[in-house]
A and B are shown apart, each in its own frame.
Chain A
Amino acid sequence: MSTLSIDCRVPLRSFDLQIELEVAGTVALVGPSGAGKTSVLRAVTGLVKPTAGRITLAEEVWFDAAAKISRSPDQRRVGLVFQEYALFPHMTVRQNVAYGGRARVDELLERFRISHLADARPTHLSGGERQRVALARAIARDPGVLLLDEPLSALDAHTKVAVRGELQELLRELGFPTLLVTHDYEDAAALADRVGVIVDGQLRQLASPQELVSRPADVFVASFTGANLLHGVAHRREDDLTVITLASGETVYSTDPGDGEVGVVVYPWEVSVGHAHHVDSALNVIDGEVRSLVHIGNRVRVMIGPITAEVTEASLEKLGLVVGGRAVASFKATGTRLVSSS
């Protein structure tokens, strides 16, 4: 897989966006709105011209301030999916897809399950359908890199879960570098191999979703990146509880329905830490090695086995936890949420 390499500075209204990033696989940028996420995408596509830096895809130089190279957007092999999809309202679905490239229109309509909508206008489509058209159109252009701007934010909560699953599958299949931006950490963690947290135009931390939760670089990253995401296989029990066998071997219970491969979402502040499990209402108990202790302000992120808990400095002192020692993490089945992860 080729690598998209971004190193650029873009002056924005109240700060400069300054970012250095290598994209191979799927990278998500998360951050509050106005952090400069979309500007990164616009700089990569050439819709915005950085004042300094260099942007390359493998051997192709798209932008180089020092060498005075700046390819126009149509000369960069990018597939950009806009936040509101930006489908051409005066064209049919087929014409929209063909606008990106005529070679594989039928194949793409088929692949994105929009063949039956080929002659429809975008205004008559649902949010999920619009996104599939936008993706098909971007891929018809035969890009070397895929850029997604808030791919799930235009969808209602119900559609979102299904579309996120589809998108995960697609990104894996496509196999070219993908950069997506979102304000929703959960979406980022579900879709990307690596997640970068961006605030005021600065990349605060770039790491795997698990590492962001267990070893956040600062308080902001800690507060923004929220949840543990544990992968496993779910079975629905007769008593309406879902049992998930985690990839790491442990068993976890959830009140959310689910079947097959799922991700279990647990917020670190929902997880209690102790030396031994006392009988209480928490169904989920994970006994493991303390892998890391990270201090953020007056709190501490404790990683026990596969899961990260957040406790106060005072609790840490009381428990006397040390890295390498053992501890028990417990959390309630009602404190978990299941997300699809095929």
Chain B
Amino acid sequence: MRPPLTRALLGLVFFAAILVAMGFLVLPIVAIFTHVPVTRLIHEFSNPVVTDALVVSLKTIVISQIVILLLGTPTAYFLASRRFPGRSIVVTLVELPIVLPPAVAGLGLIVAFGRYGLLGSTLRFLHIDVSFNQIAVVLAICLVSGPFYIRQAIASFEAVDANLIAASRTLGAGSVRTFFRVTLPLAQGGLAAGEAICMARGLGEFGATIMFAGSLQGRTQTLPLAVYTEFEANIDVALAISALLVVISLAILLSLKATGLWQRARTPLVTGREGA
């Protein structure tokens, strides 16, 4: 038994640590709403910088999510259902952008798809210009947030009981019917969770976008980019946009929790399990 004084001190340190951690995490959020009166924030919502950025963000996020779902779902299904030599290398490459600094991703996009990049001459030949326009914004969002969806989708497809898929096949369903009637419905909760996290990450995309697409109001300036630009010009506008992003992020998180998908999104994501 420790002396009472030591115990009291330990308890104090314990609760102080919790208090500091909680305060540190919550205070910046609170400050965004209290720095200037909320009415001033609301007033700034009609500022063209805000509305333009909102339109650019909504447009690029919708397009990028459609692209990610259409290309990411089959990729994830393939990686989840096949075992082949080098699979774990492929999976790791797909996951790499998750841990990559966004600035590096942006530079990678420039030297791959930019005017003088790897595919630059090919794209020029096809009359496709992908720098400093909304295509560039979409590409940046896809590269940085897409892996969040694919990774969760692989885990969701892997979690579908292989016996159910086998049962479907023995009941006369081909592989396509099996996918749409059994695999997809059983994986859809996890897919939705992955998609929501991917969207949240895409909405906040900053580094890769500013490098590859620039920050042109009404063209490539998304909400996070507008926060950065307006921070020097008009802090009220920056705060208004930040408040909006806090509300959107909170809404995504709460809707995930309300549907139980947040718990699913926390299932172990490590892939590379041996096929039975």
Contact = CB atoms under 8 A, between A and B. Distances in A.
Interface of A: 45-47, 72-74, 76, 78-80, 82, 84, 86, 88-90, 99-101, 137-138, 141
A86 B164 contact: yes
Contacts of A45: 166, 169-170
B166 A99 contact: no
Contact of A80 (B167, B174, B185): B167
A100 B169 contact: no
Interface in B166-207: 166-175, 181-182, 185-186
Contacts of B164: 86, 88-89
Contacts of B185: 90
Given A88-B182, A90-B185, A90-B186, A82 B172 contact: no
A86 B182 contact: no
Contacts of A72: 169, 174-175
Contact of B172 (A84, A90, A100): A100
A73 B161 contact: no
A72 B173 CA distance: 10
Contacts of A79: 170
B163 interface: yes
12 contacts: A73-B169, A73-B170, A74-B173, A82-B163, A84-B163, A88-B168, A90-B185, A90-B186, A99-B181, A137-B171, A138-B170, A141-B172
B159 to A, nearest CB: 12
A99 B171 contact: yes
A138 B168 CA distance: 10
Which A-B residue pairs are the 10 nearest by beta carbons?
A73-B169, A86-B167, A86-B163, A80-B170, A100-B171, A74-B172, A90-B185, A45-B170, A73-B170, A141-B171
**From DSSP, what is the main secondary structure of chain A's interface residues?**
loop
A99 B168 contact: yes
A137 B181 CA distance: 15
Interface centre among B168, B172, B175, B185 (most CB of A within 10 A): B172
Contacts of A138: 170-171
Contacts of A100: 171-172
A76 B173 CA distance: 11
A100 B181 CA distance: 12
Contacts of B168: 88, 99
Given A47-B166, A86-B163, A88-B168, 8 more contacts: A45-B169, A46-B169, A73-B166, A74-B171, A74-B174, A80-B167, A82-B167, A88-B164
A89 B164 CA distance: 9
* Range class of the B interface residue count: 10 to 19
Interface centre among B161, B170, B174 (most CB of A within 10 A): B170
Interface of B: 161, 163-164, 166-175, 181-182, 185-186
Nearest to A82: B163
A99 B175 CA distance: 14
Contacts of A46: 169
Given A84-B163, A89-B186, A90-B185, A47 B170 contact: yes
A82 B181 CA distance: 19
Contacts of A80: 167, 170
A76 B174 CA distance: 11
B174 to A, nearest CB: 5
B186 to A, nearest CB: 6
A63 to B, nearest CB: 14
Nearest to B170: A80
Interface centre among A80, A86, A137, A138 (most CB of B within 10 A): A86
Contacts of A86: 161, 163-164, 166-167
B175 to A, nearest CB: 8
Interface centre among A74, A78, A84 (most CB of B within 10 A): A74
A80 B167 CA distance: 7
B205 to A, nearest CB: 34
A74 B177 CA distance: 11
A47 B171 CA distance: 12
A315 B209 CA distance: 91
A265 to B, nearest CB: 32
A36 B124 CA distance: 60
A40 B89 CA distance: 34
Nearest to A73: B169
A91 to B, nearest CB: 9
Contacts of A99: 168, 171, 173, 181
Nearest to B188: A90
Contacts of B175: 72
Contacts of A74: 169-174
Nearest to A48: B166
B169 A47 contact: yes
Contacts of B163: 82, 84, 86
Contacts of B172: 74, 100-101, 141
A178 to B, nearest CB: 15
A13 to B, nearest CB: 11
Contacts of A141: 170-172
A98 to B, nearest CB: 10
Nearest to A97: B171
Nearest to B163: A86
A197 B147 CA distance: 51
Nearest to B178: A74
